[in-house]
Structure formats: structure tokens, C-alpha cells
Amino acid sequence: MPEQIVRLMDLQVLDRQLQELEQTLATIAGKVETLREQNASNQEELQRLTEEDQQAAAARKKAEKDLAEGEARIRNKRMRLNMVRTDKELQALTLEVESLKETNQRLETELLAMIESADPRAARIKELGELIAKGRAALAEGEKEIAAQVEELKTSIASKRRERDKVASEVQPNLLQRYNTLFTRRQGIAVALAKGGSCMGCRRLLPPQLFNEIQKHLQIHFCPNCQRILYFEEKPAEQES
Ligand SMILES: [Zn+2]
């Protein structure tokens, strides 16, 4: 088998192991990441509700003040009712009092709505506070739990990558580039076995002439269909029948 093919096959084994290690690392880190995201989202909601609560308290204070002022104004108008002399004045003042009463009633309804909506918000704020405290503890616990595993995986990945880079440096640059592209685009199989006249990468029949050439091991050939780098394995004699 051409020496370059042997290198590429080694490279493919290493790359697949590397991929697996990185996948494991991502999965482990992902568990903690989910906790972290949940915490951040709770924290965000808490901040939003707290601000809302502060604004609502200010609005409530203002409504209470307006209501008190309205009541004072009504009292004032009522006192003047006793002093009017003409029917016209009486009618005008009565209308004013009615209008002030309406305004106050509206303010009262608003105030009651504000008081009602404050309750579930306060409950959620309390709940969020507890959730965040629990979430932080779970995150710290999770981080502690995976720390050793992550460290170990990172070390394995680094050493595997060094090994991989060493093998890669022994492959011709053009071929390596082709291999790298294929490895990514062909789901981790860049080098495929040619067997029984077919490419085992894409399962298509190879032109007979090409299959013959591959078996001569004189140069590197590619599958005309999937572009994979092809190799041929001599069958051990005892398996031939
Ligand atoms: Zn193919």
C-alpha cells in the first residue's frame, strides 16, 4: 500500500478519536451550560420583575395621592354648594362634583387593580429568589463534579492533537488539504476501501480500469463519485476461495 495512504488511514483513526473526545467534552460541558443558562434567565426575570415592582409602587403612590387630592376637591366643592345663589351656579357646581366623583372612582378602580397585580408578582419574585439560590448551588456542584473529567478530556485532546499533527505533517500538503475537506464533508470518512469493484465510501461501482489501477498501488486514486481517497487491501491468502 502506498505510504501516503497508510499515513492518511492513521490520520483518519486519530481524527475520529479526536472527534469523539471533543463530542464527549461538549456533552459534559453542556450539562453545566444548561444550568448556567437557566440561572441567567431566572436572574433576568427577577431583575425585570423587581424593576416592574418599583415602578408599580411609584404609580400606586401617585394614584393614592391623586385620589386624596380628588377627595379634598370634592369636599371643597360641596362646601361651596351651600353658598351658591342661582340655579345656574348650583347646576354648574353639581356637574363639577359629579365629574370629580367619576374621576375618583376611576382612580380607585386603577388602584385596586394595581394592588391585585402586585401579589402574584411579589410571589414570583420570592420564588425566583429561591430558584436562583438553588440554581447557584447546583451549578457549583455540577462544575465541581465535571471539573476532573473536563481536565482529563482536555489533556487527552491536547495529546491526541499533537499526535495527529505529527502524522499530518508527514502527508503531502495537497493531499492533506483534500483529506481535511473530505473528512469534514463526508462525515469522518475521507479514506475509503475499494472492494469488489466498488467504493465502500459511497457504495457505487468504480470503473473497472480504475479498480485495476488501485490494486496496483502505484499512485493514489479518488472515487469519481464521492471524491474519497481510495485504498485497496490485499486479502490474506487463506481467506481467498
Ligand atoms: Zn465513492
* Dist. CA 198 → ligand 1 center (Å): 8
Domain residue spans of the chain = 29-159, 173-239
CA of 179 to the centre of ligand 1 (A): 14
State how far the Cα of 226 lies from the Cα of 182, in Å rounded to an integer.
9
C-alpha–C-alpha distance, residues 11 and 13, integer Å: 5
- Tell me the CA–centroid distance for residue 69 and ligand 1, in Å: 86
Q: How far is the CA of 7 from the centre of ligand 1 (A)?
A: 20
Q: What are the strands, taking DSSP E only, across the chain?
A: 191-195, 198-199, 221-222, 229-231
Going from the Cα of 202 to the center of ligand 1, the distance in angstroms, rounded, reads 4
pLDDT score of 238:
56
Whether 201 contacts 192, CB under 8 Å: yes
Answer yes or no: CATH 3.40.50.1000 is held by domain 29-159: no
Instruction: Give the pLDDT confidence score for residue 21 in this predicted structure.
Output: 96
**Residue 237: predicted pLDDT:** 56
Q: What is the distance in A from the centroid of ligand 1 to the CA of 206? A: 8
User: CA 44 to CA 61: how far, in whole Å?
Assistant: 26
Q: Which pLDDT score is estimated for 1?
A: 77
Q: Ligand 1 centroid to 229 CA: how many Å?
A: 8
The alpha carbon of 184 and the centre of ligand 1 are apart by a number of angstroms equal to 15
**201 alpha carbon to ligand 1 midpoint, in Å?**
5
Distance of CA 205 to the CA centre of its chain: 43
Centre of ligand 1 from the C-alpha of residue 129, in Å: 58
| 203 CA from centroid of ligand 1 (Å) | 6
Residues 6 or more apart whose CB falls under 8 angstroms from that of 110 comprise: 63
- Residue 180 Cα to ligand 1 midpoint, Å, equals 16
DSSP letter for each residue of 93-112: HHHHHHHHHHHHHHHHHHHH
pLDDT in tens, the chain (241 residues): 789 999 999 999 999 999 999 999 999 999 899 999 999 999 999 999 999 999 999 999 999 999 999 999 999 998 988 888 899 999 999 999 999 999 999 999 999 999 998 999 999 999 999 999 999 999 999 999 899 999 999 999 999 999 999 999 999 999 999 999 999 999 999 999 999 999 999 999 999 999 999 999 888 999 999 999 999 998 765 554 4
CA of 24 to the centre of ligand 1 (A): 29
- Could you tell me the distance, in angstroms and rounded to a whole number, from the CA of residue 107 to the centre of ligand 1? 78
Question: Which DSSP state fits 36?
Answer: H
Exposed/middle/buried for residue 118 (C-beta within 10 Å: 0-12, 13-18, 19+): middle
Confidence at residue 182, expressed as pLDDT on a 0 to 100 scale: 97
Q: 234 C-alpha to center of ligand 1: Å?
A: 19
- For residue 45 the three cell numbers come to 426575570
Nearest alpha carbon to residue 8 among 226, 234, 222, 202 = 222
CA distance 131 to 125: 10
Structure confidence at residue 84 (pLDDT): 87
Q: How much is the CA Rg of the chain, to the nearest whole Å? A: 40
The structure's pTM equals 0.64
Helix, strand, coil percentages, rounded to 5, for the chain: 75, 5, 15
At position 45, the amino acid (one-letter code) is: E
Helix axes 3-81, 87-168, angle to 10 degrees: 170
